Chains A and B, each alone.
Chain A
C-alpha cells in the first residue's frame, strides 16, 4: 500500500467530491452498502462509467469495496469525509474568533 501525506489524501478527497454523481453515490452507500450493478441502474450512464466513479471514490478512500459472491459491495467510509470537513471546520473557527474580536472593537467604541 502506498502511504501518502495527509495533504495528497485531502486533495484526492476534494477532487472526488467535486462531481455530483460521485457525491450522490457516496450519500447512498454511506446509508447502506450497494453493489456496483445496483448503483449502475440508478444513473443514465454505462456500467463502466459508474464503475469509474466508484474507483475515484475508492482512491480517495471515501468508499471501500468488498466481494460478495460475484458482486462487489461498495460502502461509504465516513471517517475520510470527516477528516476533510474538519479542515473547513477549523477555518470556520478562525472566522468565529475574528467575528467575536470585531464585535469587541465595535462595542468598545460606543
Chain B
C-alpha cells in the first residue's frame, strides 16, 4: 500500500509529497532512471508523456512532450542539476515551445527527489518549488481533469484498506 502525506506551503510555494512503495530503493530509482518507465507515470492521466531525449546524468538535458485528448502536444524540458544514484535526483522543469526548446529558461519549477529505505520498502519524497503563482496555475491545470477522479478513487481505496 502506498502511504501518502503532502505538505503545502502557500507562502513558500512548495509542495512536499511523500509516498511509500513496497519495493526496494533500486527498483523505485528505475522508475526515474528508465525513460520508458518514467513516461508511464509522469503525464497526467489524459496527457501521456513521451521522453524524446533523456540524458540521465548531472548537467543532462531532457526533452519531453505530453499528448492531450485532442492530440494537442504540450512540450517540456528538464535540466538535471544533480544525481546521486540511487537516492537523490534534482532537476529544473520548464515549458518548451513547438521546437522543443525552453520558452523561458528562467521559468522553472525545481524538483528534489529523495529515495530512502523504509523497512522492506522505499520512501519517496519529492519537493516541488514554484517561482510564481502563474507557473503553479499552469502546472495544476494539467493535473486537474481526470486526476481528481482518480485521486478520489485512490483515497477510497486507502480508507477501505
Nearest to A86 among chain B residues (CB) is B140
Q: A91-B143, A95-B6 are in contact. Are A10 and B41 (CB under 8 A)?
A: no
Neighbouring A residues of B151 by C-beta, 8 Å: 93, 96-97
Q: A10-B133, A17-B11, A95-B15 are in contact. Are A106 and B23 (CB under 8 A)?
A: yes
From B21, B44, B137, name the one whose CB has the most chain A CB atoms within 10 angstroms.
Answer: B137
Asked whether, in the complex, the Cβ of A91 is within 8 Å of the Cβ of B136, the reply is yes
Nearest to B139 among chain A residues (CB) is A91
Q: How far is the CB of A19 from chain B (nearest CB, A)?
A: 8
Neighbouring B residues of A95 by C-beta, 8 Å: 6, 15, 17, 19, 126, 143
Asked if B141 is at the interface of the complex by the 8 Å CB criterion, the answer is yes
Q: A102-B19, A105-B40 are in contact. Are A90 and B141 (CB under 8 A)?
A: yes
From A7, A17, A102, name the one whose CB has the most chain B CB atoms within 10 angstroms.
Answer: A102
Residue tally, chain A, CB below 8 Å to B: 33
Asked if A101 is at the interface of the complex by the 8 Å CB criterion, the answer is yes
Neighbouring A residues of B147 by C-beta, 8 Å: 90, 93-94, 96-97
**CA gap between A11 and B132 in the complex, in Å:** 7
**CA gap between A21 and B60 in the complex, in Å:** 42
**CA gap between A102 and B29 in the complex, in Å:** 11
The B interface, classified by DSSP as helix, strand, loop or mixed, is: mixed
**CA gap between A64 and B137 in the complex, in Å:** 25
Q: A90-B141, A97-B143 are in contact. Are A84 and B133 (CB under 8 A)?
A: yes
Asked whether, in the complex, the Cβ of A92 is within 8 Å of the Cβ of B6, the reply is yes
From A19, A85, A97, A100, name the one whose CB has the most chain B CB atoms within 10 angstroms.
Answer: A97
Asked if A13 is at the interface of the complex by the 8 Å CB criterion, the answer is yes
Asked whether, in the complex, the Cβ of A101 is within 8 Å of the Cβ of B40, the reply is yes
Give residues in A with beta carbon < 8 Å to B. Answer: 6-7, 10-11, 13-14, 17-19, 23, 84-85, 87-103, 105-106, 109-110
Q: 10 tightest A-B contacts by CB?
A: A94-B143, A10-B133, A101-B41, A90-B140, A99-B19, A88-B8, A96-B151, A106-B23, A95-B17, A7-B134
